[in-house]
Amino acid sequence: MIDLKLLQKDFESVSAKLMRKGVDATLIENLKLKNGELKKAKVNFETLQALQNSMSKEFGAYKREGKDISELKQRVDANKIVIAEALDIQRVAHEELEAIAMAIPNMPDDSVPDGIDEDDNIEIKKVLTPKEFSFTPKEHWELAEQNGWIDFERGVKLATSRFSVSFGMGAKLERALINFMLNFNAQRGFEEVSVPALVNRTALEGTGQLPKFEDDLYKMEGQELFLIPTAEVPLTNLFQDEILASEQLPIKMTAYTSCFRKEAGAAGRDTRGMIRQHQFHKVELVTIAKPEQSEEIFNEMVQTASDILTALELPHRIVNLCTGDLGFSAAHTTDIEVWLPGQDQYREISSISNTRDFQARRAKIRYKDGKKNLFVNTLNGSSLAVGRTLVAIMENNQNEDGSIDIPEVLKPYLDMSV
């Protein structure tokens, strides 16, 4: 949620920032208007309520003293009707404001470059050089099938398209990657957490998936429960509606979960292989931090994800997302893209965002700074998407005969004898 006070106080700059992210100018204008309306309605209601309260107090005194209450009761009853109307006006104003405000994305930082889509993202640096192949490298689905690691047809049989099944070394590699990543993150100070895969509406509103993106979520029938699209949701919402002690911060967490996405609107994209699945494994990083800590931790998170790829000897590049490619909740985002020789391009494998106080406002996560309660900053990032890492290993480590070399760092995690 954007800061409505700031919007009121500094309308020009807030709306300019939101417009960079493509928010309609009239919508912002409307938000300001509604906010003013609500304020007025609130003052009006509270004034009436104060009158009612004081009359009610009098009422008690009258009774104790045995005075006649009929005249007072008349006034009180009359005021009651007026209050009901005022309350109604306030309620409507609040609902209208909420509906608009909850659907408005975060303001991008000034450092975020302008742009329309991923083509306008800015490459910051490349890490490791892709190796030259003496043959034409294959795409991962071909390698996966040839090695018997992944079965796409049987995934469809069990569920529907965009599901797959891993077998043997494919399955073991996934498990090894998860363990490797969790341990790696733990060494960088991120505490491992195990969280529910189902969350309620409040949690999803807190992190920004709802109300706007319900179409992309799997919802339980007859219940207000959703499968998580990312561990960011449960991890961040762990502290929903809490006021944390200053010394507790930063809280650095990592979690492995399955993630579930309907991929509405991605029809036709990456239909082959395991790049874009409805269910996928991901190891996530989430940090709850003080505002002054958040940029330093952001860089740590990017570095951690990048270092995992380096440890796996996977060439990748780090990219600063432009306004057009920025997610709903993010103030700024850095993507890590891994080199896929089979596809002959870099593909996203991690996305790290600082949402600043956007999610904290929605989820009401604050900390005590001396006397005052301030909103925390929340950060999230993949470290890493497991399936895509496996894809990268297959494509980068393939030999001409289709066999695949296992990265050294994973060998301790794999019992190679079975």
Partner RNA sequence: GGAGAAGUGGGUGAGCGGCUGAAACCACAUCCCUGCUAAGGAUGCGUACGGGUAACUGUACCGAGAGUUCGAAUCUCUCCUUCUCCA
Active-site residues, by number, are 261, 276, 348, 351, 388
Tokens 């192949």: give the residue.
Answer: 133
Q: Of 49 and 147, which has the nearer Cβ to RNA?
A: 49
Backbone φ and ψ for 97, nearest 5 degrees, come out as: -65, -45
Residues 21-50 that bind RNA (CB under 7 A): 39, 42-43, 45-47, 49-50
Shortest spacing between CB 219 and RNA, in angstroms: 18
Stretch that binds RNA, among 51-59, 249-257, 270-278, 344-352 (CB under 7 A): 51-59
Q: How far is CA 224 from CA 196, 200, 206, 355, in A?
A: 14, 6, 15, 25
Shortest spacing between CB 24 and RNA, in angstroms: 24
Shortest spacing between CB 52 and RNA, in angstroms: 6
Burial grade of 373 (CB within 10 A; 0-12, 13-18, 19 or more): exposed
- Answer yes or no whether residue 73 interacts with RNA by CB under 7 A: yes
* Three-state secondary structure call for residue 317: strand
* Three-state secondary structure call for residue 199: strand
| Measured distance between the N- and C-terminal CA atoms of the chain, rounded to whole angstroms | 52
- Answer yes or no whether residue 248 interacts with RNA by CB under 7 A: no
Q: How far is residue 222's CA from residue 224's CA, in Å, rounded to a whole number?
A: 7
- Answer yes or no whether residue 243 interacts with RNA by CB under 7 A: yes
Q: How far is residue 415's CA from residue 418's CA, in Å, rounded to a whole number?
A: 6
- Answer yes or no whether residue 84 interacts with RNA by CB under 7 A: no
Q: Of 30 and 320, which has the nearer Cβ to RNA?
A: 30
Neighbours of 376 (CB within 10 A): 30
Asked whether 280 and 258 are in contact (CB, 8 A), the reply is: yes
Q: Which of 13, 187, 248, 373 binds RNA (CB under 7 A)?
A: 373
- Answer yes or no whether residue 88 interacts with RNA by CB under 7 A: no
Shortest spacing between CB 329 and RNA, in angstroms: 19
The DSSP secondary-structure symbol of 274 reads T
Q: Which of 6, 10, 29, 53 binds RNA (CB under 7 A)?
A: 53
Residue count (the chain) = 418
Stretch that binds RNA, among 10-18, 56-64, 160-168, 339-347 (CB under 7 A): 56-64
Contacting residues toward RNA, per CB under 7 A:
4-5, 39, 42-43, 45-47, 49-50, 52-57, 59-60, 63, 73, 76-77, 80, 243, 366, 368, 373
